[in-house]
Each structure stands twice: as C-alpha cells, then as structure tokens.
Chains A and B, each alone.
Chain A
Amino acid sequence: MDAVDVSEHYEVTSVDSPPSLLSIVIDTNPRAWAALESRLSLSQALSNILVFVNAHLAFSNTNQVAVIAAHVNRAVWLYPTAAAAAAQKPPAAARDHSGDVQMQDVSAETNNSSSSASANKYPQFAQIESSVFSSIQSLMAETTVQDLDQYTTQLSGALTLALCRINKASQALSSSDTTLSNAAPVNSTAPPPVKGRIVVISVSDSEPSQYIPTMNAVFAAAHNQVAIDTIALAGDSTFLQQACFNTNGIFLKASNPQGLLTYLMFGLIPDTEARESIITPAHDTVDFRTACFCHGKVIDTGFVCSVCLSIFCEPPENAECLTCGTVLALGNYGAKPAVLPRKKKKKKKIANGSGREETGSATGTPKP
C-alpha cells in the first residue's frame, strides 16, 4: 500500500536491533569460593566476568549491563548501585533558570568517580569495574561469621532484582499508552523492546526453601521472554537447570572452572536473538523430579493434594493434608485395577451329598 503512493519513502525504518540488557548474577557464597580457590579464585573470576561484560557492551552502544551479587544472606546490586545513581543525579538536577544543564569539566568528574581512570580505558568500562570491585569489597567486609552459617545463596532475590531491572528498562523504552491497557501483558507474541537475559554464575547448591520464589521468578522470566543462562562452576543447581529449560536458556556445567572466560565467551555471548541462528549447548537430560513436602525426599511418583498442590511421598496420616489440613479422599488408590467382571461360576447342585448324576426330575429315582 505504501508503495503505491510512495509514502514508504518517508517511513523512517530503524534497522538497529533492540538494545540488549545483560544481567549477571554472581553467586558470592564465601564457602563455595573457598573450596574452589585452588582452581579459580573469586578475584580471577571477577576479572573474567568483567571481560565478558566489556565484550557485551562493545557489541552495541545501546547495550546495558547490570551486575548483582547473590550472597549468603542477601542479594545486593554491584552495578548500578544506589550510590552510583546518586552520584550521577546531581548534574541532572542542577538546572539553572533557563533549563540548561551546567556542564562540568570531564576530567574533574572522572577523577572523582574512579581513581584508577586512565586515558587508555573506555570510561564506561572503568566505571563498571570500579563499581563492581568496591561493592564486592564492602559486601565481603560486611559479611559476619553468623552469615556463614548458611550454606546456600539468596538466588531468588537476585533473580527478582534482575527481572525488575529488565522490566523497568523495557518499560522505559516502550510507549506509555500500551502499558496501561496491557497492565497484565498477555500478547506475548510481540517482541519485547529490550532483549533481556540473565546469566547466573553458580557455585552452590539449590536451597529447597527457595523453590517457590525461584520458580515464581522463572515463570516471570519466561513470561517476559527473558532467558536465564547458567554456568555452574560447582554444586548441584537443580533449580537453575529447570530455570534454563523453562526460559530457553543455556545451561553449562563447567568441568574446568579455570576456563571460565572461555565458557562465557564461547557459550554465553549470543543474545536471545542471535541464538535462533546458532546451535547452542543442548540440555540432554533435565531432572524434573521433585522433593516431597513431608520428608524432603526426592521422588518421581507422588501424591498431590488437590486443594493446595502439596506433594507427599506417601498418603499422609488420617488422609489429612499436612499443609492445608483438608481431609482428602484417597480416590481409588490401592484398589484393584478394573478388569473384566468375574464370571459367575455355575453352581453345581449336589443333591443328597451323593455323587449321583442329576436327572431332570424333581424327585430322585425311587430305590428298590
């Protein structure tokens, strides 16, 4: 249609691909990193991750990065941090009466924000690096001995934070009127304005008590077309395996943790769009077994309460659900399988207890 009246000439078509927001969740469990120390230390891992971040940023000017630490007892932002946001804010707020922004000397600003700024480094790289390092240092300094009592990490919180950030970024880029009518976005066919994805660098086991919040985050990610990729350096991360499967992400089990950068650069650099045209590492088997609520046993066949969907490994006592207290009908569990009804046996009438063959007459043959 546009070709007829030549108006397509005036259509501004942007060939730029939508920006890609990479959120990296680093599992900073001190115990697990201490166990890995001989092969890969946390500081080495961080520098590898920063190279990966820089590679992602170098793809496009519009690409963004967020880094989150999943620590033993909390999840914190490493980049961007509230402090960094506050540091950026004053120049924007300092408008004079004509609405102009006061320009500041560049060298003065970079000297303030990062002491290690060099002329040979792209300032954004330096900014992220200094932010990540300083946040990690303060995080480790704040970690107390009591915190180390916990063995696992606050993964669900870190995923939730990353998803909120991606959601905000995509809302900022999409037009505002669609967000009102689609407060519950259902048309998942349209591509999102931001290609969001989350890369989890995992070193510890999955915590069963975080199952529901983690799964909530996974479904939200699948809903918003955000892929969750995982590189598992150590530990048994069952939930993350399921998360990757559900969100079409990549799950890599790193047998040689010292090659972290290689895994990242070769396995996890393509974004969700590029992934359609390359062959990604496949999930061969995914463990979908679940833990029962009563004993914490991993089971593959279980009993589910129809009211609250709690899973039990055996019918609970008194047929009463342990979670919601409902009395449950056991259904036909334990009943014999339905087969063809048993044929009624013809009753042999035995007359007079003797083995004499029956004759048609009601009375026996008179004895002589």
Chain B
Amino acid sequence: MISAALSIITAFNSSARPPSNSSHQSHSFVSYFSRIKSPSITRSSHFSATGSIQFAMADSDGEYVADMSDDDIMDHTVTDGDPSAARPKGSKPSKKKRDRNGSKAWEQSKRTWETDLPEEDDGMLNLAGYEAERRRRLLRDTTPLQRGIIRHLVLVLDMSFAMAEKDLLPTRHRLTLSYAAAFVREYFEQNPISQLGIVGMRDGVAVRISDMGGNPAEHLERLRELEGQDPQGNPSLQNALEMCRGALFHAPSHGTREVLIIYGALLSSDPGDIHDTISNLIADRIRVSVVGLSAQVAICAELCSRTNAGDESQYNVAMDETHYKELFLAATTPPVNRTKEQSTSSLLMMGFPSRTLAPGGTTSYCACHSKPCREGYLCTRCSAKVCRLPSECPACGLTLILSTHLARSYHHLFPLRNWVEVPWAEAGQSTACFSCQSPFQEPPKPNREKGKDEAAPAKASAKGVSESGRYKCQVCGNHFCIDCDVFAHMVIHNCPGCQSQSQAVPVGVDGVMAEANGNGHANGDGVMVIDG
C-alpha cells in the first residue's frame, strides 16, 4: 500500500462522532462521507453482519448490541412486500419506529429464495407481476437522440478489501468479474467501433488490467486471469481516475470519453486532492458514472454530477444481484450527447474492405500481427493485409471496418417505438400473435361473470400489462404476445408487423433511414434531438 495520507474529503460529514470502540478503527474514516442518501446504506448493515455494520450503527454506540437483537436477525426472513407481517410481535417500538412504517427498498428486494410465485385460488399462476416487470424493463424513451456512437470507455473495477464481502453472492469480487465479462461482450456487441480499457483499484494504487483496445477477446482473457486473485488493500479513486485520464488522453475529439467505476468500498485512499482531479476530468471532457455496491458515497455523487453537467442519474447503488447487473449493463448503451460542444462531430474516412482469400490457396503474413493466415482483408487504400476487423491499417492508418459494424449501431439512433396495451374491447380482432403464431386467450364473454370479476382486479393492478395479453404496434396495428414484444424491443429492434407489410416505402436520398419500421421518427425526417 502506498503510504499516502488518507486524505479523504474532510468537507463532508464532520458531525459524526469518532467511534469509541477500538475495533472500529479500520472503518473510522467512513464517517467522513456523508451518509444515507439512499436506503441502500441500511441494506449494507442488513446483509453484512460483520463489516460495515459498525458503520451504520456508528451513531448509536451504546445501543449497538441491543439493536442487533433478534428483530434484526428476523429481518433476514422477510418474505414479501409487507414487512410487518413477517416481523415478530415482540419487536421493540424503538426510535426506529419511523423506519418501520414505510417499507424500505431493501425489504422489497426479491431474493431468489424469497420469491414465491403468486398463486391464485384456482391454482393458476398469476403472472401479471412478472409481465409487468418485463414490460418495465422494456418501456423507455424512444425519441431518437443524438448519441455518442464512437466511444472510448475505461472500466474501473474495485479490487479492494471491500469486494470480499459476501452480500452479493458468491462474493462481490467474483460476481463483478463475471458481470464484467458479460459487460465486455455486450459492450462490443452494441458498440462495435468503440474502444474499451480496464483498470483495477487495489492496494491503494490503480492497476492496469487491459489497455484501450477494440478486441473483446483480449479483455476477456485479462479478466479471466484476475479470478485467481483475492481482493485486498484500499481502493484509490484518485489514482484510478488519473490513470483513466492518461488512457483517454489520445481519444479523438469526435468520440466520447467515459469512465465507468464499480465501487464497492466506502472510502478512498488518495495521495492528493481529488477535487483537482475532478476539475481536470471536466477539462478533458471525461464523463464518469459510478455503480456503488454498498452505500452512497458523497464524493462519488459529486464526481458523477460534476462530470456529467449536473446530471445525478449517473450514480447508482445496486440493491441486489439483478439490480446490479441491470445497472452495470446499462452502460453498454451509448450515452446521449448533451450539448453540441461536448463532442465535435467530424467526417471520418473509413475503408470497407471485402474478405478475400490469398490467391492459389497460399498463406501470407498479415500486416497487423505478422501471423500467417489464409484469409484476410485488404486495406482499400494501400492493400496491406489485416486479419481482423475493425482495425486501423498498420501501413497507412486508414480506419478499416465492416459495414455491418456500422449497421449494428443504427438501432440506437432510431429505436423501435413502444407498443401499447390492447384492452379486451379491441382484442377480438386477433386470435394469435402475429409473429410467432401462438394463440391468444379468447376475449371473455360478457355474461361469464366468474372469469371477468376475478381476473379484472388482479390484472388492472399491474401497470403496463395488457389485460388481454396482446400488445399492439401503433404503426402497423398488428397484435403481438409479451414474448415477442420483449424480443422485438430488446434483441431484434424490428417490428415484425411493419417489416412484413410494405406500405409505400419512401425511397429517396435517405430512403435507407426512412423505411416504415415503426422506428421512432418523432421528428419526421430523422433529425436527431440534442438533449438539454
């Protein structure tokens, strides 16, 4: 560990008392951070029985043992949304009573062993909540926004002592590594012409895990090597940010410069003033987003809001594994360009080489790795042979990509419109899902009082769920099932109905963009909105 002073941000919460017990020594500095903006701080105390529990109880020295009595332990068995039902009657009406009334976010978190599928009286599963959850993930703003498609992102992984916690199973460290591998795959699938680098924080310094590069296999290999290492030492936010700044220094001005930090600890062991680093980040147009794993930390919130022009939505704290994954992978979507000045757009010269075999079945060396290979791509300007795309021609420096790489990013720019729920009144016109041909429920007969009365309240409660199980594309008017709705919006980004019926397709100069795909052309001719 570097012997830097723990110069942690004295400005924040000076009101916290130093803990009386000497065993709290290692956690004392956490009190410098402002606490409890989100409910997740309580979650931290809830699930980690040894580590940060002292932190949450730092204000209540004397009562500490009493609070850890059986009612807190019983919290582990809380099952459903109603916490009071599962709590024993003898629970102390203490000063925490205010907290007891409203259920905390962590109390509603669904653990796998707590989730029991809701069952209705007749033994049928009530999947309305399940459907609502899937729809919620789906529904998003479909205004075509100008996004930074050519990205340069550094992923910073916390590998400090805090990652040994087991509140996220199996441990924070292992879960983070497996999600990071998923992130790398998804990132390059969504952003094929972007670059990624990985940096770790351990032993008070920043460790370079992989250099900036566009090849997912390289990053995945480096991540796999980390699995044998145990997390240790303190994290240093400032060191990591400085290393990111160095890695992003050469990123061209038309691309984005981003840093995504996975932060498990509640402290940062920095050699200097981190505020200077933040100012430098702003000057370098680097935007930082943080996914916290334990509690909200003031310096992270400040870091995110300052580097994102006051937008605080870039700092989130994960509540459970599913939420963590959701937050982590949300960063694979290209960020919205906020201002025109944020990135200078430019015209890039690119080559689209075709795949060719070496003549006569011979092999030749590629210019990029000097490996013998049979097939390859010839640079369109200087005819140097490269073995893998996307890359930069090693001879003349021309960017070489596949046109399919560009096509892969188009759906971010022109997202598919959300589909709407279909009430029973309109449900009669379809008997089966248009795309997968699976039959729908028949509309209830008006005189069948039994089915209607029971079904109505349960279905109506879930927001965004269609009572008839049908979802309609507003452009082509076809009905689809929930599975196809999710699939069309998450994976395929096409409306099966619009694609299967050609209306008069406007073929013009930008005919490629203006096809009738139900894709949100809110601005008519496809001009994208600049947010804010």
Chains A and B are bound partners: yes
A residues touching B (Cβ–Cβ < 8 Å)?
73-77, 80-82, 85-86, 89, 93, 150, 154, 156-158, 160-161, 163-165, 167-168, 171, 176-177, 180-181, 183-188, 208-213, 215-220, 223-224, 242, 245-246, 283-290, 293-294, 299-312, 315-316, 319, 321-331, 333
Query: Contacts A86-B439, A164-B496; is A219 near B402 (CB within 8 Å)?
Result: no
Q: Are B488 and A309 in contact (CB under 8 A)?
A: no
Q: What sequence of 0s and 1s flags, for each residue 489-504 of chain B, a beta carbon within 8 Å of any chain A beta carbon?
A: 0111111101111100
Query: Contacts A212-B515, A306-B345, A329-B346; is A75 near B500 (CB within 8 Å)?
Result: yes
Tell me the complex Cα distance, A157–B435, Å: 10
Tell me the complex Cα distance, A315–B349, Å: 9
Q: Are B356 and A285 in contact (CB under 8 A)?
A: yes
Tell me the complex Cα distance, A165–B431, Å: 16
Tell me the complex Cα distance, A301–B400, Å: 9
Contact of A301 among B112, B380, B413, B507 (CB under 8 A): B380
* B181, chain A: closest CB distance, angstroms: 9
Q: Are A213 and B402 in contact (CB under 8 A)?
A: no
Q: Are B403 and A325 in contact (CB under 8 A)?
A: no
9 A-B contacts (beta carbon < 8 Å) = A81-B437, A93-B442, A164-B492, A167-B436, A216-B411, A219-B408, A285-B354, A301-B351, A303-B349
Query: Contacts A154-B499, A165-B435, A213-B517; is A309 near B510 (CB within 8 Å)?
Result: no
Q: What sequence of 0s and 1s flags, for each residue 420-443 of chain B, a beta carbon within 8 Å of any chain A beta carbon?
A: 000000000001110111110010
Check if B282 is an interface residue, CB within 8 A of chain A.
no
Tell me the complex Cα distance, A74–B495, Å: 13
* B414, chain A: closest CB distance, angstroms: 8
Tell me the complex Cα distance, A309–B347, Å: 9
* B136, chain A: closest CB distance, angstroms: 10
Tell me the complex Cα distance, A223–B353, Å: 24
Tell me the complex Cα distance, A85–B490, Å: 27
Tell me the complex Cα distance, A183–B322, Å: 10
Q: Which residues of A contact B437 (CB under 8 A)?
A: 77, 80-82, 85, 165
Contact of B130 among A180, A286, A305 (CB under 8 A): A180
Q: Which of B491-532 contact A (CB under 8 A)?
A: 491-496, 498-502, 505, 507, 509-513, 515, 517, 526-528
Q: Are B528 and A307 in contact (CB under 8 A)?
A: yes
Q: Which residues of A contact B432 (CB under 8 A)?
A: 82, 85-86
The closest CB in chain A to the CB of B356 belongs to: A285
Q: Which residues of A contact B491 (CB under 8 A)?
A: 167, 185, 220, 223-224
Q: Are B355 and A319 in contact (CB under 8 A)?
A: no
* B138, chain A: closest CB distance, angstroms: 8
Q: Are A186 and B329 in contact (CB under 8 A)?
A: yes
Tell me the complex Cα distance, A81–B432, Å: 9
Q: Which of B5-13, B449-457, B479-487 contacts A (4 or more CB under 8 A)?
A: B479-487
Q: Are A330 and B347 in contact (CB under 8 A)?
A: yes
Check if B365 is an interface residue, CB within 8 A of chain A.
no
Tell me the complex Cα distance, A307–B402, Å: 18
The closest CB in chain A to the CB of B430 belongs to: A82
Q: Are B346 and A311 in contact (CB under 8 A)?
A: no
* A147, chain B: closest CB distance, angstroms: 9
Check if B140 is an interface residue, CB within 8 A of chain A.
no
Q: Are B436 and A164 in contact (CB under 8 A)?
A: yes
Q: Which of B137-161 contact A (CB under 8 A)?
A: 137-138, 146, 149-150
Tell me the complex Cα distance, A312–B228, Å: 49
* A287, chain B: closest CB distance, angstroms: 5
Q: Are A328 and B411 in contact (CB under 8 A)?
A: no
* A135, chain B: closest CB distance, angstroms: 12
Q: Which residues of B contact A74 (CB under 8 A)?
A: 500-502
Tell me the complex Cα distance, A289–B406, Å: 12
* A29, chain B: closest CB distance, angstroms: 13
The closest CB in chain B to the CB of A329 belongs to: B346
Tell me the complex Cα distance, A326–B357, Å: 39
Contact of B487 among A164, A210, A286, A299 (CB under 8 A): A164
Check if B350 is an interface residue, CB within 8 A of chain A.
yes
* B243, chain A: closest CB distance, angstroms: 26
* B439, chain A: closest CB distance, angstroms: 5
Q: Are A164 and B488 in contact (CB under 8 A)?
A: yes
Tell me the complex Cα distance, A181–B488, Å: 18
Check if B381 is an interface residue, CB within 8 A of chain A.
yes
Q: Are B403 and A324 in contact (CB under 8 A)?
A: no
Tell me the complex Cα distance, A217–B517, Å: 12
Q: Are B435 and A161 in contact (CB under 8 A)?
A: yes
The closest CB in chain B to the CB of A82 belongs to: B432
Check if B388 is an interface residue, CB within 8 A of chain A.
no
Q: Which among A82, A210, A216, A310 has the highest number of chain B CB atoms within 10 Å?
A: A216
Tell me the complex Cα distance, A199–B186, Å: 27
The closest CB in chain B to the CB of A299 belongs to: B352
Q: Which residues of A contact B528 (CB under 8 A)?
A: 307-308, 324
Contact of A150 among B134, B186, B337, B502 (CB under 8 A): B502
* B149, chain A: closest CB distance, angstroms: 6
Check if B344 is an interface residue, CB within 8 A of chain A.
yes
Q: Are A286 and B354 in contact (CB under 8 A)?
A: yes
Q: Are A305 and B347 in contact (CB under 8 A)?
A: yes
Check if B189 is an interface residue, CB within 8 A of chain A.
yes
Q: Which of B354-375 contact A (CB under 8 A)?
A: 354-357
Q: Are B484 and A167 in contact (CB under 8 A)?
A: yes
Q: Are B345 and A305 in contact (CB under 8 A)?
A: yes
Query: Contacts A180-B133, A209-B505; is A75 near B347 (CB within 8 Å)?
Result: no
Query: Contacts A180-B133, A180-B134, A289-B403; is A300 near B502 (CB within 8 Å)?
Result: no
Q: Which residues of B contact A325 (CB under 8 A)?
A: 527
Q: Which residues of B contact A156 (CB under 8 A)?
A: 494, 499
Q: Which residues of B contact A160 (CB under 8 A)?
A: 435, 488, 492, 494-496, 499-500
Q: Which among A80, A154, A218, A219 has the highest number of chain B CB atoms within 10 Å?
A: A219
Q: Are A217 and B492 in contact (CB under 8 A)?
A: yes
Check if B254 is an interface residue, CB within 8 A of chain A.
yes
Tell me the complex Cα distance, A288–B405, Å: 11
Q: Which residues of A contact B74 (CB under 8 A)?
A: none
Q: Are A215 and B347 in contact (CB under 8 A)?
A: no
Tell me the complex Cα distance, A215–B185, Å: 19
Query: Contacts A299-B352, A309-B406; is A186 near B182 (CB within 8 Å)?
Result: yes
The closest CB in chain A to the CB of B527 belongs to: A325
Q: Are A303 and B350 in contact (CB under 8 A)?
A: yes
* A156, chain B: closest CB distance, angstroms: 5
* A123, chain B: closest CB distance, angstroms: 20
* B383, chain A: closest CB distance, angstroms: 11
Q: Which residues of A contact B410 (CB under 8 A)?
A: 212, 215-216, 309
Contact of A181 among B186, B322, B380, B442 (CB under 8 A): B322
Q: Are B345 and A326 in contact (CB under 8 A)?
A: yes
Tell me the complex Cα distance, A213–B411, Å: 9
Check if B404 is an interface residue, CB within 8 A of chain A.
yes
Q: Are B502 and A167 in contact (CB under 8 A)?
A: no
Contacts A74-B502, A183-B138, A300-B353 aside, 11 further interface pairs with beta carbons under 8 A come to: A154-B499, A154-B501, A154-B502, A160-B492, A164-B496, A167-B436, A212-B513, A223-B189, A285-B354, A290-B352, A333-B347
Query: Contacts A180-B133, A184-B490, A216-B494; is A290 near B436 (CB within 8 Å)?
Result: no
Q: Are A288 and B354 in contact (CB under 8 A)?
A: yes
The closest CB in chain B to the CB of A290 belongs to: B403
